[in-house]
């Protein structure tokens, strides 16, 4: 009797267990179904083109200050960046600051000019095939109206004590450029008046005093050659655009381009000491919408002939934001440039190297610095965003995918650059400075199905390059090293090997008479993939 009851009891439990297992299996099936990767399809016709690829992304790149450009490691890094990314212009602060030895006065108050340091710097820039985007500032101490300065290197931010002497300095400097480099060369340069005068940290004067400075500067440059290009206001946060255009219109003051700046965090413009807490904006059109709206504003003011240059931009305005080092930054860069389209003539990423000393030399090899490269020349993920864009071909293919470019070059090779940008930042509850210093594994996002048609018959080599979590991601590798404050030679070698830019897949393909080629690949959040299909 007891045995029989036990059997009945066991059978009952078995019955309920089977029901439970069936229910669980159903839940698992549903969950697997719900987490199935989305399908993203990129359809390309080799013969369906839209014209020449817009390459405004490599028109200009930023650097910290002019005096840093006299360093050997700065110059070596610039040469590498030029070779890999092919930036055309470079812009920097502090050309006229006293550490460049440009200006003083004798005991009678007569001006004395000296351009030996500038010559060394500009000769080098031109020797590697680049041009200066000349930011005219800050104030030489002999011309300064007060002693208010910014940064560790003490750039004077006050208006001139004598505007005529300021004009004479600029005219003499530009005449020197003309004599040294030739009129035809200097005609290709840009002259920008000051930096972010709408911030009292960068300009102690008023808006009217800035416009006076602009007017005297414009006269100086045009006195040397009327074809030389002058512009501004080089403001933070897209400021003073209408005011600058109205001032130049109403006072018949020359202007050839508008320049301004935009960063992708929620608040703030200046972090001199690298201590501000920042939060990446959740607005999917941050930065790019600013640029598009400024272009519309300029057009509405009947100034369609003016060029627009964003002479600074990035995800964050502080040189202590770890998003700059993170693998997330590469996809962020590509997303913003793609969204901006043709609204601007250039977007100058701030900056090319962590050799950047606004708040004094930094004490760790990765500190959230602005650069594409760190002190030791280790290539950050952001570096590859620009290198990949530079490898795109001359002719763009028609492409309805909003997160990719497809091109072909004059040899007939095809290139495809695609990415996922997912803003994983948790929002107001956490700062960039605590979020992006973590090891942040990326989640699977989708399958990308690439469908190429009308590809000429023949044999090809397919190379695929990748940037993402633990792929050309030296910062995550640095975190896994324990974040050493100083790197040994061996550690530098290891991190450079982690970010060597080599293809992660190479295969040989054959296109037969149907002229089609398909490839499916998985992509994670914030991955960047670059495809080269090379005709043999």
Q: Which residues are catalytic?
A: 196, 312
Any idea how long the chain is?
Answer: 536
For the chain, how many helices (H) and strands (E)? 13, 22
Q: Under 8 Å CB-to-CB from 197, ≥6 apart: which residues?
A: 203, 205, 207, 210, 232, 233, 234, 235, 240
End-to-end distance of the chain based on CA atoms, in angstroms?
A: 84
Using CA atoms, how far apart are residues 468 and 463, in angstroms rounded to an integer?
Answer: 17
Between CA 138 and CA 193 the distance in angstroms is: 10
Contact (CB, 8 A) for 393 and 341: no
Residue 109, SS3?
coil
Contact criterion met (CB below 8 Å) for 52 and 395: yes
> Which segments of 254-340 are extended strands (E)?
257-263, 307-314
* DSSP secondary structure of 226-247: TTSEEEEEEEGGGTTHHHHHHH
Which of 263, 258, 160, 270 has the alpha carbon at shortest distance from 217?
A: 160
111-113 and 103-105 beta bridge pairing: antiparallel
Does residue 360 sit in helix, strand or coil? coil
- Of 288, 163, 190, 308, whose CA–CA distance to 245 is shortest? 308
Q: Which residues contact 206 (CB under 8 A, 6 or more apart)?
A: none
Q: Which residue has the tokens 């990314």?
A: 85
DSSP 162: -
Separation of alpha carbons 266 and 430, rounded Å: 12
CA distance 257 to 233: 9
* Radius of gyration, alpha carbons of the chain: 28
């Amino acid at each position: 009797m007891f045995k029989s009851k036990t059997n009945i009891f066991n059978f009952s439990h078995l019955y309920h267990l089977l029901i439970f297992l069936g229910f669980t299996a159903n839940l698992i099936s549903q969950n697997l179904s719900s987490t199935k990767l989305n399908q993203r399809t990129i359809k390309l016709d080799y013969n369906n083109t839209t014209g020449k690829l817009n390459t405004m992304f490599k028109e200009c790149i930023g650097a910290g200050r002019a005096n840093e450009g006299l360093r050997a490691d700065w110059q070596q890094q610039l040469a590498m960046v030029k070779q890999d990314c092919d930036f055309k212009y470079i812009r920097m602060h502090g050309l006229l600051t006293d550490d460049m030895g440009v200006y003083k006065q004798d005991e009678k108050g007569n001006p004395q000019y000296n351009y030996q340091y500038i010559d060394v710097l500009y000769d080098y820039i031109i020797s590697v095939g680049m041009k200066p985007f000349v930011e005219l500032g800050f104030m030489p101490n002999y011309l300064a109206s007060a002693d208010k300065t910014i940064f560790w290197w003490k750039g004077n931010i006050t208006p001139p004590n004598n505007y005529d002497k300021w004009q004479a300095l600029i005219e003499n400097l530009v005449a020197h450029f003309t004599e040294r480099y030739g009129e035809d060369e200097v005609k290709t340069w840009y002259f920008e008046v000051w930096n972010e005068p709408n911030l009292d940290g960068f300009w102690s004067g008023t808006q009217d005093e800035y416009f006076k400075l602009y007017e005297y500067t414009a006269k100086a440059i045009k006195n040397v050659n009327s074809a030389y290009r002058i512009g501004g206001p080089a403001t933070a946060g897209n400021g003073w655009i209408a005011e600058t255009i109205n001032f130049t219109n109403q006072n018949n003051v020359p202007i050839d381009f508008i320049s301004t700046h935009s960063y992708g965090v929620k608040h703030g413009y200046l972090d001199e000491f690298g201590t501000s807490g920042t939060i990446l904006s959740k607005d999917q059109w941050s930065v790019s919408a600013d640029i598009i709206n400024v272009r519309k504003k300029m057009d509405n003011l009947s100034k369609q002939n003016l060029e627009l240059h964003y002479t600074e931009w990035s995800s964050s305005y502080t040189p202590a934001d770890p998003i700059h080092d993170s693998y997330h930054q590469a996809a962020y860069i590509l997303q913003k440039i793609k969204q901006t389209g043709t609204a601007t003539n250039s977007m100058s990423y701030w900056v090319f190297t962590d050799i950047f000393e606004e708040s004094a030399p930094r004490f760790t090899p990765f500190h959230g610095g602005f650069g594409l490269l760190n002190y030791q020349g280790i290539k950050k993920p952001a570096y590859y965003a620009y290198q990949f864009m530079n490898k795109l071909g001359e002719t763009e293919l028609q492409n309805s995918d909003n997160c990719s470019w497809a091109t072909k070059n004059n040899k007939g090779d095809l290139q495809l650059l695609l990415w996922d940008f997912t803003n994983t930042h948790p929002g107001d509850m956490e700062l960039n400075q605590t979020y992006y210093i973590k090891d942040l594994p990326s989640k699977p996002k989708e399958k990308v199905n690439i469908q190429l048609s009308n590809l000429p018959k023949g044999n090809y080599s397919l190379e695929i390059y990748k940037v993402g979590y633990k792929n050309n991601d030296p910062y995550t590798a640095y975190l896994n090293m324990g974040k050493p404050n100083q790197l040994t030679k061996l550690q530098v070698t290891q991190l450079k090997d982690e970010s060597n830019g080599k293809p992660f897949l190479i295969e040989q393909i054959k296109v037969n008479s149907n002229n089609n080629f398909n490839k499916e690949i998985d992509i994670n959040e914030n991955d960047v993939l670059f495809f080269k299909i090379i005709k043999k």
